[in-house]
Amino acid sequence: MEEEGDVATAFTLARMLSNIPISRGGPTSLVIYDIHALQERFYFGDEVLPLFETGIPLLKERLQQLPDADNVVIAFPDDGAWKRFHKQFDNYSVVVCTKVREGDKRIVRLKEGHVSGHHVVIVDDLVQSGGTLIECQKVLAANGAAKVSAYVTHGVFPNQSWLRFTHKDEASEKAFAYFWITDSCPVTVKALANKAPFEVLSLAGSIANALQI
């Protein structure tokens, strides 16, 4: 919250969900994927049972199917993404980007790691306008990445911002080889059907396992 009257949306939604009545079988289970801020897991009350899951296993399974699976490096667009996900990529080399201020602009820079000759996959929890991913891709390519792809669990893409990533010409095809999202945002999934470079990874099996269905 930055100004008086702003709504603390995450906390407010957690309070709303926490008021789901207890059923005959006990508290309601809420399956939440890749929560945006780790402290938000503590916003829920005792009347519900939040289950915090991640879509990363779906990505790792897909990466193993790539012809260049042995050449994949994981990139995080900022320190927040690194803190959230790096422990799930112990078997991969990782690189971290960061935003630095230059005059009136915030510029993406490569903070640590080596990408030259590798297929670099940018990993984050969600995407909206996609500006950070695009700037990160440019930095990785400038530092010698052979290919760049991206994964986000939640493809929000307001105002059809996904159009910035679709393959329209040779330049756009070189920008992102793959862009993986899950089906957590059904409207986005429908809009992106059969549009390269997007591929949808289904959460259905993971949700069923979490709920022990």
Residue 141 is predicted with a pLDDT of 96
pTM for this entry: 0.91
Q: Residue 77: count other Cβ atoms within 10 Å of its Cβ.
A: 24
Residue 113 is predicted with a pLDDT of 93
Copy the structure tokens of residue 74. 């994981």
HEC secondary structure over 111-164: EECCCCCCEEEEEEEEECCCHHHHHHHHHHHHCCCCEEEEEEEEECCHHHHHHH
Residue 192 is predicted with a pLDDT of 93
Total H helices, total E strands in the chain: 7, 9
- Segment of 18-32, 52-66, 90-104 carrying the highest mean pLDDT: 52-66
Amino acid at 200: V
CATH 3.20.20.100 fits 55-202, yes or no: no
Taking the domains of the chain in order of start, what are their residue ranges? 9-53, 55-202
d(CA 155, CA 138): 20
> In 3D, which of 117, 71, 70, 78 has the Cα closest to residue 95?
78
Report the percentage of the chain scoring pLDDT > 90.
79
d(CA 178, CA 151): 8
Q: Yes or no: say if 144 and 174 are a contact pair by the CB < 8 Å rule.
A: no
In which element (H, E) is residue 10 found?
helix 9-18
Better-scored residue on pLDDT, 161 or 6: 161
Residue 100 is predicted with a pLDDT of 83
Query: Which tens digits make up the pLDDT trace of 88-139?
Result: 999 999 999 998 877 777 788 999 999 999 999 999 999 999 999 999 999 9
Query: Which tens digits make up the pLDDT trace of 164-191?
Result: 999 988 877 889 999 999 999 999 999 9
Residue 1 has pLDDT above 70, yes or no: no
Q: Yes or no: say if 72 and 92 are a contact pair by the CB < 8 Å rule.
A: yes
Amino acid at 106: R
Average pLDDT of the chain? 93
Residue 74 has pLDDT above 90, yes or no: yes
